[in-house]
């Protein structure tokens, strides 16, 4: 195996990830891909505390993650990549990483965003990034926890677009 799940979730590591996704997919390596967190010692410590000692944790910048993936560093693991936004996924892809499928788990509301699902709110830039990912043939499913219904996020975004 290598990367088992790529997830967009702006809370990165939290209860749903640790207690549900990791167990469901038997993840043994959590990889946070975020330029800000990777350069902040407090945040790094906080997230590394959230994962049990049985799993590895790496907190990498987008460039570091690209290198690790292309060098096959996760090949022996069942790894889960966590990113905060579709823009970050796009820049990982721009650097040469191939991704087939993305799970969108949580993008929280702020005043400049529009809520399209219970746990997913998107800005104009987010929508655009999702459309670009869609054009690349990447499947985008919205699902908070494994047992939830899989929702095709592009259908919802397309519906939002036609309403505009």
- List the beta bridge partners of residue 122: 114
**Per-residue binder mask for another protein (CB under 8 A), 39-78, x = binder:** --xx-xxx-xx-----------------------------
**Whole-angstrom Cα distance, residue 33 to residue 60?**
5
Stretch that binds another protein, among 36-44, 77-85, 97-105, 134-142 (CB under 8 A): 36-44
Q: Rounded to the nearest whole angstrom, what is the least distance from the CB of residue 103 to another protein in the complex?
A: 14
- The end-to-end CA distance of the chain, in Å, is 42
CB atoms within 10 A of CB 49: 9
Q: Rounded to the nearest whole angstrom, what is the least distance from the CB of residue 115 to another protein in the complex?
A: 17
What b/e string do you get for 127-141 counting C-beta neighbours within 10 Å, with b at 16 or more?
bebbbbbbeeebebb
Q: Which is nearer to another protein, 60 or 138 (CB)?
A: 60
Assign 49 to helix, strand or coil.
helix
**Whole-angstrom Cα distance, residue 30 to residue 18?**
9
Query: Can residue 16 be called a binding residue for another protein (CB under 8 A)?
Result: yes
Q: Three-class SS string for 113-129?
A: CEEEECCEEECHHHHHH
Number of residues that bind another protein (CB under 8 A): 17
Q: Is 14 a catalytic residue?
A: yes
Q: Rounded to the nearest whole angstrom, what is the least distance from the CB of residue 147 to another protein in the complex?
A: 4
Q: Which is nearer to another protein, 41 or 54 (CB)?
A: 41
Say which residue the tokens 């650097």 belong to. 95
Q: Which of 14, 29, 108, 139 is catalytic?
A: 14
Q: Which residues bind another protein (CB under 8 A)?
A: 15-16, 19-20, 23, 41-42, 44-46, 48-49, 144-148
Query: What are the catalytic residues?
Result: 14
């Amino acid at each position: 195996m290598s990367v088992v799940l790529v997830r967009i979730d702006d809370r990165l590591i939290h209860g749903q990830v640790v207690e549900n996704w990791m167990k469901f997919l038997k993840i043994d390596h959590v990889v946070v891909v975020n330029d800000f967190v990777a350069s902040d010692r407090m945040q790094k410590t906080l997230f590394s505390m959230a994962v049990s000692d049985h799993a590895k944790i790496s907190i990498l910048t987008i460039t570091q993650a690209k290198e690790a993936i292309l060098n096959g560093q996760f090949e022996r693991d069942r790894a889960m990549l966590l990113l905060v936004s579709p823009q970050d996924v796009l820049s990982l892809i721009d650097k040469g990483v191939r991704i087939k499928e993305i799970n969108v788990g949580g993008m929280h509301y702020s005043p400049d965003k529009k809520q399209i699902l219970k746990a997913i709110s998107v800005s104009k830039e987010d929508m655009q990034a999702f459309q670009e990912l869609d054009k690349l043939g990447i499947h985008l499913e919205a699902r908070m926890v494994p047992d939830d219904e899989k929702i095709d996020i592009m259908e919802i975004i397309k519906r939002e677009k036609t309403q505009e």
